[in-house]
Amino acid sequence: MTAISMREANGSDREWAARLMAGSDPWITLRRGYELCLASCRNPADDLLVAERAGERCGFVLVRPRGLAGAPYIVSIAVDAAQRSTGVGRAMVSFVAERFADRARHLYLCVSSFNPRALAMYEREGFIKVGELPDFIIDGASEYLMCRRLVP
């Protein structure tokens, strides 16, 4: 399979990312429509990084460089439906970890309890659960705070 490359967002990437978010879970279940997703993708505090395969956008990761107690926090990550389970998510997480390894000790994110595939991928990528936020966004679901140590 073709290699995945990462780049900073430009042009219409923010609108594309917002459409991808709004049209897929967990954002559908979390009741995040396009406008909320677009506002998130336009947040100047965050870096929007786009994954490409063979010159086509296939995913994105939104990172707040000083998100949790000064450590980087993955705000959102999404992969195009046709590209899921092909390594795009892993590649994006690895890219973010490498990007911050020289300036942070940890990388954080939250994952919804109803998203077991994402949870399993994050665990394979070295994240551990460090907290649970029950009923945080919607009733009946938890958000798991996860952490990956970046330095040995």
CATH number (domain holding residue 61): 3.40.630.30
Q: Which of 12-21, 26-35, 72-81, 102-111 has the lowest mean pLDDT?
A: 26-35
Number of domains present in the structure of the chain = 1
Decide which of 152 and 12 is more confident: 12
- Cis bond before residue 26 (omega within 30° of 0): yes
Tokens of 137: 């966004």
- Beta-carbon count within 10 A of 128 CB: 12
Find the mean pLDDT for residues 102-116: 96
Percent of the chain at pLDDT above 90? 89
Give me the chain's average pLDDT, please. Answer: 95
- In this structure, what token pair is assigned to residue 63? 């990172």
Distance CA 79, CA 101 (A): 23
Mean pLDDT, to the nearest integer, of 28-52?
Answer: 95
Q: For residue 126, which phi and psi values (nearest 5 degrees)? A: 95, 5
DSSP single-letter state for residue 92: H
Pairing between β-strand 128-134 and β-strand 142-149 as defined by DSSP bridges: antiparallel
Terminal-to-terminal C-alpha distance of the chain = 31
Q: How much is the pLDDT for 151? A: 81
Instruction: Tell me which residue range forms the domain holding 129.
Output: 4-149
Residue 22: per-residue pLDDT: 96
Question: Is 6 in contact with 50 (CB distance < 8 Å)?
Answer: yes
Structural contact between residues 106 and 128, judged by C-beta atoms closer than 8 angstroms: no
Q: What is the pLDDT of residue 2?
A: 82
pLDDT tier at 1, thresholds 50, 70, 90: low
